[in-house]
Amino acid sequence: MTNPAKPLVITQGDPAGIGPEIIAKAFRDAPDLLRGCFVAGDVATMRRATRCIADGAHTVDLPVAQIGHAQEALGMPPRCVPVLQLPDIPGEVPIGQISEAGGRAAAHSVLWATRAALRGEVAGMCTAPLHKEALALAGVDYPGHTELLQAEAAAHAGVTVAEMPVRMMLANDELRTVLVSIHVSLRDAIAAVTRENVMQTLRITHAALWAALGRAPRIGVAGLNPHAGEGGLFGREEVDIILPAVAQARSEGIDARGPFAPDTVFMRARHAPGHPGEFDAVVAMYHDQGLIPVKYLGVDQGVNVTLGLPLVRTSPDHGTAFDIAGKGIADARSLIEAIKVAKRLSVNAS
């Protein structure tokens, strides 16, 4: 449970995607978990979402109630969707279409929730998917949630973005991975493998997982090149950059090991029945290296957690899925898992 005095905010995501309908399904299917949660967004958009998930198998009444402030969410009955109507947010947009209005609505919701979390008005936030192209059309100069949250947190703290380093962790019950770089080209991701960036990632991972686990985490580090460079035969990043960073981390008391071959380290870290993993998390050198293994284990179970922020933020590990939006068939399990994690982390933070 979250701090009982503070609600948890869920951003509605891009209104043209599946965000609103998986939020509605979460309120319908996990009423106990969703007590004390509310949506920052548009009432009409959420009412449309409740209509699109209605079918013969699910006839539970799912009212959408407009609230005037966050605290009202704490007193709402189960299977009622409290929505804080944001001023000047675009309303219903065509489902399944990339648009400036959809990007603006998603950004507006995220900005409101982030600022409320930074002011301490909510226990944490869970973000429904937004579309990066729509975000760009809306004039938002950030490639995704993580970078936008980082900029807002840095501004709130009165520091530069460089002084507010954050990392993306994708996790499920079997595997956690933390990324050295996030939404950049592969060419830029390789350039981002520096000793400083690897060290920052190890420090952030160590601090965040110690808080979550209550003990020092065991961190495996993936190499960048095939076979982790094979002693310099396939590239020298492991020898010149990653290995020295791991050694420095160990000198600081961080239980980091590696670099290991990236095609096997995730299997070694996986916690499966009868096979306890060797590591609590793997630090991956770039986006797809770290995310593919977790998503392969099941998109419906994965949770994205932003590490290094002075607030709790989680999200499901999938996108807007415009191709199925509005059909009522989107799976809400990843969002439900993300809300569980946000509630658990908010207890640790408080």
Rounded to an integer, what distance in angstroms lies between the CA atom of residue 313 and that of residue 127? 7
Question: Which pLDDT belongs to residue 125?
Answer: 97
Question: Which pLDDT belongs to residue 109?
Answer: 97
139 contacts: CB under 8 Å, gap ≥ 6? none
Structure tokens at 327: 């059909």
Count the alpha carbons within 13 Å of 58 in the hemisphere toward its beta carbon: 16
Mean pLDDT within 263-276:
92
Question: Which pLDDT belongs to residue 1?
Answer: 41
H-type helices in 214-269, by residue range? 237, 243-251, 265-269
User: Which pLDDT band holds residue 183 (cuts at 50, 70, 90)?
Assistant: confident
Mean pLDDT within 296-322:
90
For residue range 135-155, list pLDDT tens digits in order.
999 999 888 888 899 999 999
User: Which pLDDT band holds residue 4 (cuts at 50, 70, 90)?
Assistant: low
Q: What does the DSSP assignment read for 190-219?
A: HHT--HHHHHHHHHHHHHHHHHHHSSPPPE
Query: Torsions phi, psi of 249, nearest 5?
Result: -60, -45
More reliable by pLDDT, 298 or 123 = 123
Range in 25-34, 46-55, 71-80, 247-256 the model is least confident about: 46-55
Q: Above 90 in pLDDT, residue 165? A: yes
The letter for the amino acid at 12 is: Q
State how far Cα 280 lies from the chain centre. 18
Mean pLDDT within 21-37:
96
Question: Which pLDDT belongs to residue 341?
Answer: 92
Q: With a threshold of 0.85, does the pTM exceed it?
A: yes
Mean pLDDT within 197-218:
94
User: Which pLDDT band holds residue 297 (cuts at 50, 70, 90)?
Assistant: confident
For the beta sheet containing 176-179, the strands, ordered from the edge strand earlier in sequence to the opposite edge, are 64-67, 81-85, 37-41, 8-11, 124-127, 313-316, 303-307, 167-171, 176-179, 281-284, 219-222, 256-260
Query: Is the bond into 63 cis (omega within 30 degrees of 0)?
Result: no
Q: Above 90 in pLDDT, residue 321? A: yes
Question: Which pLDDT belongs to residue 55?
Answer: 67
Query: Torsions phi, psi of 163, nearest 5?
Result: -85, 0
252 contacts: CB under 8 Å, gap ≥ 6? 203
Mean pLDDT within 260-271:
96
Mean pLDDT within 245-253:
98
Question: Which pLDDT belongs to residue 43?
Answer: 97
Mean pLDDT of the chain: 93
CB 166 within 8 A of CB 213: no
CB 186 within 8 A of CB 289: no
* pLDDT > 90 in the chain, percent: 83
Q: Is 262 left (phi over 0), alpha (psi -120 to 50) or beta?
A: alpha
State how far Cα 315 lies from the chain centre. 4
Rounded to an integer, what distance in angstroms lies between the CA atom of residue 291 and that of residue 179? 9
User: Which pLDDT band holds residue 2 (cuts at 50, 70, 90)?
Assistant: very low
Q: Above 50 in pLDDT, residue 258? A: yes
CB 153 within 8 A of CB 114: yes
CB 258 within 8 A of CB 242: yes
Burial 136-152 (b: 16+ CB within 10 A, else e): ebbebebebbbbbbbbb
186 contacts: CB under 8 Å, gap ≥ 6? 286
Question: Which pLDDT belongs to residue 277?
Answer: 94
- Which residues partner with 9 through β-bridges? 38, 125
Structure tokens at 310: 């002075």
Q: Above 70 in pLDDT, residue 178? A: yes
Q: How far apart are the first and last CA of the chain?
A: 11
CB 282 within 8 A of CB 256: no
Q: Above 70 in pLDDT, residue 3? A: no
